[in-house]
């Protein structure tokens, strides 16, 4: 299970992230979620380059997440939205 405390350092802020300790750089996410994932060869991990901003982007990232053989892609969507609501109060 991906751990949000172990996010790749270059991960774009937002609900999706790659756990750098689980990623094996297989590049499944890069091919499935094209435009949303890249490989950081220095840190030896994939990372989320940008968070999806629409229905099709969301579908691509979810498909990459479900296809990841190491289950290294996490989704903290509920936590992010909850924190946003708390800050708005």
Enter the pTM of the model.
Answer: 0.84
Query: Does pLDDT of 78 surpass 70?
Result: no
13-36 pLDDT per residue, tens: 999 999 999 999 999 999 999 999
Q: CATH number, domain at 54?
A: 3.30.70.20
Contacts 24+ apart (CB under 8 A), 40-45: 40/8, 40/9, 40/10, 43/8, 43/9, 43/10, 44/20, 45/8, 45/18, 45/20
Q: Which domain holds residue 65?
A: 4-88
The residue among 78 and 52 whose pLDDT is bigger is 52
- The total domain count for the chain is 1
Burial label for 19, CB within 10 Å (0-12, 13-18, 19+), is buried
For every residue of 38-51, DSSP letters joined together read EEETTTTEEEESS-
């Amino acid at each position: 299970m991906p751990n949000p405390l172990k996010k790749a350092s270059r991960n774009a802020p937002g609900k999706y992230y790659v756990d750098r300790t689980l990623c094996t750089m297989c590049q499944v996410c890069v091919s499935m979620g094209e435009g949303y994932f890249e490989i950081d060869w220095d840190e030896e991990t994939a990372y989320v380059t940008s968070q999806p901003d629409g229905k099709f982007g969301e579908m691509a990232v979810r498909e990459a997440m479900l296809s990841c053989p190491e289950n290294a892609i996490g989704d903290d969507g509920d936590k992010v939205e909850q924190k946003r609501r708390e800050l708005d109060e």
